[in-house]
Amino acid sequence: KYTDFNCFFEIPTMRLTALTDYALRLLMYVARHPQRLCTIAEVAQAQHVSQTHLMKVTHQLGQQGWLQTIRGKGGGIRLAHPPQNIGIGAVVRSMEPSFALAECFNPDHSSCRMTSHCQLTGILEGALMAFFAHLDRFTLADLLRSPALVEAPITVIPHAAGKEKQAHSIR
């Protein structure tokens, strides 16, 4: 029965945390207002995100050197670098706590008995490398462009079963 098998073998999902999503949204908002300092309150209102969450994200982005934070009356946040110097892949790597797509990615805490002869780890690792190679092609400046300039035409990718499927790519 498939559901029984599913209990023992769980395929991981590639999903970024909400904090990474908020970090990218915060960076885009601040980048769109380079002439002034932005406040957490205004970003929270504009993005419909909790100020508490944005404070945590802002602190982390400031510690990692992506944002400058100015405290006190008249303070706020701004980019620490020009948007073209802020790589999306680097930001995602700095925000995510782990990219262990499967238990076997962490051999100290793995109970998988197939690790020595399993091909899944290599396949998932290749997928993760491709994911970051794609993200590394883009900067914050690319996220500020008009969607019409960023979205590329649909490309057709052959599917393993002989069918074709469509994929959207961004430049």
pTM of the prediction? Answer: 0.71
For 77, 82, 137, the CA distances from 141, given in Å and listed in that order, are 18, 8, 11
34-87 pLDDT tens trace: 999 999 999 999 999 999 999 999 999 999 999 999 998 889 999 999 999 999
92-142 pLDDT tens trace: 999 987 766 655 555 566 556 655 666 777 787 888 888 889 999 999 999
What are the tokens at 132?
Answer: 């970051």
Rounded CA separation 66/85 (Å): 10
Are the C-beta atoms of 68 and 36 separated by less than 8 Å?
no
Longest C-alpha distance within the chain, in Å? 63
